[in-house]
Amino acid sequence: MNKLKLYLDTSIISHLEQMGKPNEQADCHKLFEKIRGGEYDVYISYVTTREIDDCPEQLRAVLRGHLDSISYTKIDETEEVIDFAEKLIAAGVLKKRSLDDCQHIAAAVTAKCDIVVSLNFRHIVNPKTSKGVRTICFNEGYKIIDIYPPKSLIEEDNEDDL
């Protein structure tokens, strides 16, 4: 069976160091353990690296260290990514001020990822965005993509308990 292709937005990497949110931090560390164990193929984008580069130097070094601890494919900025991001804005899925969030989603979609993993509940991990992304993917002929927080990927399968 093929591994799931996960797109990690910047919130996942930054929450590895988010002391004020212990549950989310623990979930991100568990997800990184699964990634290091080879359970998933991981993708990030130019938006992720740019956002990390914008962090203060000490935090930037720590976050880069986390990225260096896993294997990933980096998605470059392309016309296809920009076009899909603009479609999200034109359809009212997100506003122009959320262009980076649109580009995270667009990079994942154009790279044919299975899941966008994010802790950005305001703009990315919510029913409105998920429905809008699915609609545009369907209408534009892209593979349908799911959007989940890390908790959805690290919970143990308890079907045997039922």
pLDDT per residue as tens digits for the range 19-38: 889 999 999 999 999 999 99
Q: Examine the pLDDT at 160 and tell me if it is beyond 60.
A: no
Domains of the chain: 4-153 (3.40.50.1010)
> Where on the phi/psi map is residue 38: left (φ > 0), alpha (ψ -120 to 50), or beta?
left
- CA-closest candidate to residue 117, choices 60, 45, 65: 45
- CA-closest candidate to residue 148, choices 4, 52, 1: 4
pLDDT, position 19: 85
- In sequence order, what E strands does 4-111 have? 4-8, 40-45, 73-75
